[in-house]
Chains A and B, each alone.
Chain A
């Protein structure tokens, strides 16, 4: 089995645009079809979290300056995206079993559906940034905004590859999904979302260095906050992206013809 199989799958997956856009949007609609506030609930629940935790920890940690609310909101929204993709990718193929048993589907289509619906959620959540920017006066400058957008592009592509790797592996080894679910909860506390990276001591610094999520958070969050850009973050994030993409393509090309049998 060689790489072209995987590349063809990815291209066809993107070409199935109609499918994953329709079903991705429907997934959001589905959750709130019978509720009064509808999609607003997605935004509201995040707003409540950020407001409550933000005010609490701002005084607990004695954080001065106006940046903390923005820091927390951006970090938390991004974390919801990352953790949403990772926890859901464990069931990306089993959940769509009935589709996969109808015809020859590109595996990428279902990964795109998953990531796209998470991006829609992220877009809903991002609305809360506007009042925060206004209230705390933390509007990002134009350059910062575009650098953050590029950072999110890297995060998005990595999410696609990681979802493919987890999706295939968890389809074959069903124990992976529950393991990931419990690990991701721990990862939340080990990632600089609520806390700020300063004076952490040797253990703290080691965790920050080893935690891959932190790098992806920083390449998006730092430019929004106007912090200086650290090239190390970009190099590490770029390397993770390259490795995961190669890994995903290799895994897909080796398992593509077996996926339906494992359903």
Chain B
């Protein structure tokens, strides 16, 4: 199995830019080190082709930052990062929605936001419309939709193209039961057997459903790596 993602001693620090006094008192100068926050502190991990990996950990443990580094949002401060394949990220699928525009008008907006080329949009449209099950509601402005309905259309576009490496950050936990089942099936189809998945979630049910391997994050480090069931158990105990 080919290596999809490899990181070695990956570190990411955030600058904390805050209001500084224009004329600070002498001797009270902030040192540079206190103005940085280390979000990831030496992550070394290897993820292979077709692996389904769940990321566990309390809020602020570094799960989302790790996914954002893989997605290319944040550049590593130090360490090595190697990615072989094309990344699709499902963080906030609603980005690009225009509340005043109708459902149909929003589909090209969402496609543009996700970088789906216009040449592809025609043959993806039917599939998207069918998945949303919104029917005539697609002619209405999005602002008249419930948040679940908005999620449906956003999720439908975000998952219209097959993915090589899929990154998901806690987005599937919303919507009614029917939607949850459908979105699960759609995600599986999207990965079509060989795709690699990284999923950050607090829901044990989702993690067992989607993943086979688990990584536990704590203060920017991976503290455990193993089969998902064991990892969930270990994480539950430590809470």
Please report the number of residue pairs spanning A and B whose Cβ atoms sit closer than 8 angstroms: 63
* Interface-side segment among A101-109, A133-141, A207-215: A101-109
Q: Do B73 and A100 touch across chains, with their CB atoms under 8 A apart?
A: yes
Q: Does A261 make an interface contact (CB < 8 A)? A: yes
Query: In the complex, A26→B113 CA distance in Å?
Result: 12
Q: Is the interface of A mostly helix, strand, loop or mixed?
A: helix
Q: Does B202 make an interface contact (CB < 8 A)? A: no
- The interface size of chain B toward A, counting residues with CB under 8 Å, comes to 25
Q: Do B75 and A257 touch across chains, with their CB atoms under 8 A apart?
A: yes
Q: Does A2 make an interface contact (CB < 8 A)? A: no
Q: Does A64 make an interface contact (CB < 8 A)? A: no
Q: Do B112 and A19 touch across chains, with their CB atoms under 8 A apart?
A: yes
Q: Do B100 and A33 touch across chains, with their CB atoms under 8 A apart?
A: yes
Q: Do B100 and A34 touch across chains, with their CB atoms under 8 A apart?
A: yes
Residues of A within 8 A of B118 (CB): 18
Q: Do A30 and B98 touch across chains, with their CB atoms under 8 A apart?
A: yes
- Within the complex, what minimum Cβ distance (angstroms) separates B38 from chain A? 12
Q: Do A104 and B73 touch across chains, with their CB atoms under 8 A apart?
A: yes
Nearest chain-B residue to A259 (Cβ)? B75
Nearest chain-A residue to B14 (Cβ)? A261
Q: Does A58 make an interface contact (CB < 8 A)? A: no
Query: In the complex, A23→B91 CA distance in Å?
Result: 20
**B: which residues have CB within 8 A of A?**
14-15, 17, 68, 71-75, 87, 89, 91-92, 95-96, 98, 100-101, 108-109, 112-113, 115, 117-118
A-B residue pairs in contact (CB < 8 Å), sample of 7: A19-B113, A22-B112, A99-B95, A101-B91, A102-B73, A102-B91, A260-B75
**A: which residues have CB within 8 A of B?**
16, 18-19, 22-23, 26, 29-30, 33-34, 98-104, 172, 257-258, 260-262
